[in-house]
């Protein structure tokens, strides 16, 4: 994984869309970005010249992809903001090796929990 594999909103596009057809930081456009309402995070981050919401003082802002009910994304952005992208990648890679599933097509993944703290605790493997 590299910095371009993480979307502005904190998701890892390649984990959700393994064929590489969705990535807001490449020539392959994200379905959200191309939707009629567009993607607030993409527009905001690119207008500010930042790599993702974790670099923004106002983040997580609660708008669009970081709405209050988007717990996983909010937790991921918070983790990156607190510990950096490299540590976030290390957490995801170790958890994947240990069988924690990031995303399942059509159903919830292991990180789809009911609070930011629950997601962070799973990510960081805090019991």
pLDDT in tens, the chain (127 residues): 556 678 888 888 777 666 666 667 766 566 666 677 778 888 899 999 999 999 999 887 888 877 777 898 899 999 999 999 999 999 999 999 999 988 766 667 899 899 999 999 999 987 5
What is the domain partition of the chain in residue ranges? 3-124
The CB density around residue 59, as the number of other CB atoms within 10 Å, is: 23
16 bridge partner residues = none
Determine the 3-state secondary structure of 12 from DSSP.
strand
Determine the 3-state secondary structure of 83 from DSSP.
helix
């Amino acid at each position: 994984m590299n910095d371009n594999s993480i979307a502005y909103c904190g998701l890892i596009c390649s984990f959700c869309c393994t064929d590489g057809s969705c990535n807001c930081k490449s020539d392959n456009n994200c379905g959200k970005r191309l939707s009629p309402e567009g993607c607030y995070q993409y527009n905001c981050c690119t207008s500010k010249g930042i790599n993702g919401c974790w670099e923004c003082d106002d983040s997580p802002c609660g708008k669009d992809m970081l709405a209050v009910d988007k717990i996983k994304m909010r937790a991921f952005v918070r983790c990156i903001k607190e510990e950096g992208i490299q540590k976030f990648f290390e957490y995801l890679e170790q958890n994947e090796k240990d069988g924690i599933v990031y995303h399942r097509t059509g159903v919830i993944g292991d990180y789809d929990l009911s609070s930011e703290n629950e997601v962070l605790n799973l990510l960081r493997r805090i019991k």
